[in-house]
Amino acid sequence: MDKVERPLGPLVVDISGTTLTDEEASLLQHPLVGMVILFTRNYKNPEQLRSLTHEIHSLRNPPLLIGVDHEGGRIQRFREGFTKIPSMKSLGKLYDKDPVRATSLTSACGLVMASELRACGVDLTFAPCLDLDYGQSNIIGNRAFHRNPRVVAILAQSLIAGMSQAGMANCGKHFPGHGYTSADSHLELPEDKRDLSLIRSNDEIPYSALGSLLTSVMPAHVTYSKVDVSPAGFSSKWLQDELRNRLGYDGLIFSDDLSMKGAAVVGELTARVNAALNAGCDMVLLCNDPEGVKTVLKNQRWIRTKTFDQRINRLQPRGKFLSLDALVLTENYRHCVELINIFNQEVFDQETNGGI
């Protein structure tokens, strides 16, 4: 299929398998599409992934962005052929014992994670997770660095620094905080009944501390009932009044996946897209609903702005990526992998001997 000259649009969509179908290739050339998000089902090995991302990038100029949820711990979509990234919670526990080692190791995780993804043609991973570890959210769980928001900010900054060394942007999530509620927004709409003052003095601190270091932010499919009846990703009070105006954030805002049950309160998929964009999201994720995506592409109207183009341009990877073969020859990468492997073994030994 011939490459088309077309600026990127606001929709983030997925694909079904390890290669593109003709129908998917045609869909990805639609003006409203701006990014492809990959899942475990799209991966066999690094060579196959590199071929797939090359095929996607070859469809358009500028190339479509390619993203993935690849945070470490249990949220690591690609495993065989990739370094095992420890959970963020294990890094937070290390910080309590040895802050210097923890920050250094977290930076190493960011560099290795981003370098390996870029070597396979993936442009962005939706990390870091900035949620606080209140010990009551199964969906967040060990994805959170720590209960202390200042420790979260410190370790997130280290992860971002490592990612930046590899030329990758970042995405802080899930604003203003998903860690306090126990419900899983993939299955239902969680409700957080805390006052705004409590959220500001706890969950929002990492966003405030990181500021312009965050190239993108993803809000939570959570209703904060004392602030707004709408979930954060559909709420101008959260996205405009709080995130943009009070915190001064000017980067790109992604919605979380609009096919999740936590988004169903807004209506069918096109209504969810409209509500998210109108509330202040710049890009919206539409996953695991190919027929819904077709409907949105048919019905959606969207006006491009200079601000949108500036924000999405900040997500573009910087510099040339190294192939995996070239990457393993670099001393810094090998050193970082060694640090991670040593720590993974320590965690395994401690868990085997009765827990950390």
Per-residue pLDDT of 305-316, as tens digits, reads: 999 999 999 999
Is the Cβ–Cβ distance between 242 and 217 less than 8 Å? Answer: no
What residue type is assigned to position 176 of the chain?
Answer: P
Is the Cβ–Cβ distance between 166 and 322 less than 8 Å? Answer: no
User: CATH 3.90.1150.10: does it fit domain 183-317?
Assistant: no
Instruction: Round to whole Å and give the CA distance between 12 and 285.
Output: 5
Residue span(s) of the chain under CATH 3.20.20.300 come to 183-317
Q: What are phi and psi of 56, to 5 degrees?
A: -65, -45
Catalytic one of 186, 241, 250, 289: 186
Alpha-helix runs per DSSP H in 202-268:
205-210, 236
With a cut of 80, say whether residue 1 has pLDDT above it: no
Query: Is 174 a residue of the active site?
Result: no
Cα within 13 Å of Cα(216), Cβ side: 27
* pLDDT > 70 fraction of the chain, expressed in percent and rounded: 97
Instruction: Round to whole Å and give the CA distance between 170 and 217.
Output: 8
Is the Cβ–Cβ distance between 335 and 328 less than 8 Å? Answer: no
Model pLDDT, residue 182:
81
Q: Does residue 284 sit in helix, strand or coil?
A: strand
Residues 6 or more apart whose Cβ sits within 8 Å of residue 313: none
Instruction: Round to whole Å and give the CA distance between 313 and 165.
Output: 18
Mean pLDDT of 189-194: 92
Cα 229 to Cα 223, 225, 293, distances in angstroms: 6, 5, 27
Mean pLDDT of 197-223: 97
Catalytic one of 123, 228, 256, 257: 256
Q: Considering the chain, what is the average pLDDT of its residues?
A: 95
Q: Does residue 169 sit in helix, strand or coil?
A: coil
Closest C-alpha among 333, 212, 221 to residue 276 = 221
Sign of the Cα torsion 150, 314, 252, 17 reads negative
Instruction: Round to whole Å and give the CA distance between 74 and 86.
Output: 9
Mean pLDDT of 92-109: 98
Helix-helix angle 99-119:331-352, to 10 degrees: 120
Strand partners, 173: 129, 218
Query: Is 123 a residue of the active site?
Result: no
